[in-house]
Amino acid sequence: MIKLAADSSPVAKFIRHRRLVADMRLPGVVAAEFQGWVGSCSVRYRLGGAEHADVISSVDEALLVAGMLSAPLAGADSVRVEPATSGQADFRTALEWGRARLGEVDLAKLLAWWSL
């Protein structure tokens, strides 16, 4: 039996890199168009009068975070997704981000809202 660790397999590297393109738009979210391959993305947003910027490990996970932030329950505005300038991610997944930034209770409420 062959086992591949997700972080070290050549396939995993390609899965986590995508292009930010115009058809990836979410309501209330600005996604920077970028022609090259993108790994980690910066999600910038304003919440409670303060500006925040978190680096998420992949385009897909960053778009999930942006989608959560664009929900009316989140109360965020000026949500923007763009290629990260550094390769070092603050969060690996959208759920990890949600637990850290929103807390378990608010994350559960937000996910329940999205499931409606």
- Say yes or no to pLDDT of 95 above 80: yes
Q: With respect to residue 5, please indicate whether it lies within any of the assigned structural domains.
A: no
Domain assignment of residue 45, yes or no: yes
- Residue 4 belongs to some domain of the structure: no
Q: Domain containing 65: what range?
A: 14-115
Structurally, the chain folds into a number of domains equal to: 1
> Residue 2 domain-assigned?
no
Cα 43 from Cα 31, distance rounded (Å): 9
9 inside domain: no
* pLDDT tens per residue, range 3-57: 333 444 444 444 455 555 555 566 667 776 666 667 788 999 999 899 999 999 9
pTM for this predicted structure: 0.75
Q: How far from 62 is each of 1, 30, 52, 103, CA to CA, in Å?
A: 34, 12, 14, 18
